[in-house]
Structure 1
Amino acid sequence: MGYLHFNGHAYEVRLDPSTWSEANGAANLLGGHLAKIESAEENAAIIAYVLRQASLETWGYYAAPDGGGAVYVWLGANDITNEGQWKWADGTDVAYANWGSGSLGSEPDDYTDPQYSPNGQDGGALAVNRWPYPAGGIGSPGQWNDISVSNALSFLVEYETIGLRNANPTNLTLARSTVAENAVINSVITPLSAQDADGDALTYTITDPTGTFAIENGNLVLKKVLDFETVRQYSITIESRDGYAGVTSGSFTISVTDVAESTPPVSITRTGTADADVLIGDTGDDTLSGLAGNDRLYGLEGNDVLKGGAGNDTLEGGAGGDIFVFDIKLSKTNKLNKKQNLDKITDFVVADDTIHLAKSVFSKIAKKGVLKKGEFYVGSAAHDRDDHVIYNKKTGALFYDKDGTGVAEAIQFATVTKNLKMTNGDFLVV
């Protein structure tokens, strides 16, 4: 089982059923003590960890008959010495507490039952279920209950320093290890992934002697032009770290795939006017700029760059890895923007195409480069302050939200196809 890391301490659920005294002794032998919870933040982190472990190890958690039949984990809290004077296992007073309380009663109540708690209830435990189980009415998961110290339960050990109580990340993988030779600079090649039994946030670093690849926001990103006829494979090493000296690494080979090349196409640049223009590319990597007016831009083949400019434009990239640029100031409200500057991308392909957002326009986005994962959200509206680019997959609408709170109205700047599997990797801030 993994550990929880919080404020420099490590926590571990032990599954061997033990009375409170047995659990206290076992925790000491392990070099720790029964958990001492001193804040709401610590309690929230611990119950999330315990519930996560419970979902993996449901066979190892035990119920307390005198605790409403719910499942519990022993904490260090107890009033064994003096009834009603709650102490931690180290003898210090219990200052912060999270006792259960509801319509059917409140804890601690020192309930005496002839069969299950004839000597009262002197041990503090963290609930995994509601109690009385299953309907509740007194307490919920994460709240505390006083129960008989003779109950045989799992228990939570706290270690003062993380030390060796840390699992290394494992299963470092790339979702894909090939890249087409015509891939666009700064395009995402593949997301990285690794597992951490402790649930720690992981970071990634890369060693690439050629500088062809980099890691941005958990993705492997292309940084140099590829040519199948020159170099067909690249060897890289990636490390994943958990912030507590836990590390894993892996060596990977990135293979370049050939793209059929005939006569090199000629790239063209076409620019519109203040009127409603129709601009059509060719087989090359074309750049089409609509300027003002409600323009229609067709890239056809090649890796094209389409800039609608002002007006309500229709953009169709066609074949290839196309870039759709949004660098025109947005109107202040959706109502105005729909009339003045709302573009429609008719054929956005998640695997190939990219949307470029000008930092000068989308100014609240943190920094240039691949859009951070936390700044992209799929839904009808932002759900926290970091959500700046929102994709409503039911309508296909793309929004820019300055503050993620709803105080400043989100502005729709484009429409794409519905139900795309869009991610932050589809956006590049330039």
Structure 2
Amino acid sequence: MPYQTTDILAGSGYAIEYQAAGTTWVVARDVMVAALGFSAIQSTHDNSTLVNRGFVWASSSGVEFLGNNSTVTNKTGATITGTYGIYFGGTAAFGATVVNDGTIAVPAYGILGSDIAGLHVTNTGKIIGGAVGVGYATSTPGGTEGALIKNAGLIKSEVFGVYAETLDGLTTTVVNQADGVLQGGVAAIRAVSGQLMLKNKGTIVGDVLAESAGAHDKIINKGKIDGVVQLGSGDDVYRGKDGKAGLVYSGDGNDKLVAGDRKDKFVFDTGLDEAANVDKIKRFEPGHDELHLSKAVFAALTGPGGLQPGEFRNDSEAQDTNDFILFDRKTGALLYDPDGVGGAPAVQFAQLDKGLNLHAGDFVVLA
């Protein structure tokens, strides 16, 4: 096992370059490993391991591993920096692990897994990236594993805290623990493809965007999300538990939305479809939680602002000229009647618990 106990400053080439598979390299405490033109530490071999207790810096990537089953452990008090902090790549590679108790701070990506299936990140330290804190993008053929990110420290970026772009069928799992802070200036989490699974007990500062077409995303929020939650177009799940969040956009699909003890605000802003876009809402509390309706979809409503009392009726059928929002207390069906008189068929867009005492004050009309 190579043990680096002296400083290295490479004017050209890599400061440390692995020569064989299965090598573990340790950078000792207070030792600097730096490169001016390339990555500081580089390996193209499988089963490469780095344990950093010192300071790693490069004008390119601090660490660049291009083989299968690579592992980087950044200890408490240690630092990795560069344009990219840790870069995993290669051609259809499998397996990459980061355990960070120290600091990874860069202007681009703190950690980037590119074209690699199976990225595991466990963070109790700080991961700060100007563009992305932790990024994952894979098109690895035959990949069966997405990304797993466990955070009990700080993951922060001016753009995306976590960014994921995976193959359909793969899952990006983010577990933000009670002490975890996950922050992004544009979005805290953005998953543009594949399934997003988020379990939050900590603090998320920024929006959570699940943008996949057809994946079944699942978000369990027991902490705080200081931003909106945007579900994708699949049959998704959002559970409020004891958590707090901004507006929750359910998107397309037959979603399941479970309100928690905090005030939940569910938004309906996609085209109505009784077969493919009826959300089931559990534990909705009238007078506490809110249902937000986009005027672009619910065009007959007066809005924006609070729903007019005359535009809501506790009934399954409209009775006069402006009964646009109908709630059937016997069945729990929530419907929209576009002409308010029953001339056109009412369309169900949500299913609530039976017997609720809904009223117009539970609705907000969005522009």
Report the TM range for the smaller structure's normalisation.
Answer: 0.3 to 0.5
**Which of these two proteins has the greater Rg computed from alpha carbons?**
1
Which is bigger in relative contact order (C-alpha 8 A, separation at least 6)? 1
More helix by share: 1
Q: TM-score, normalised by structure 2?
A: 0.42
Q: TM-score, normalised by structure 1?
A: 0.36
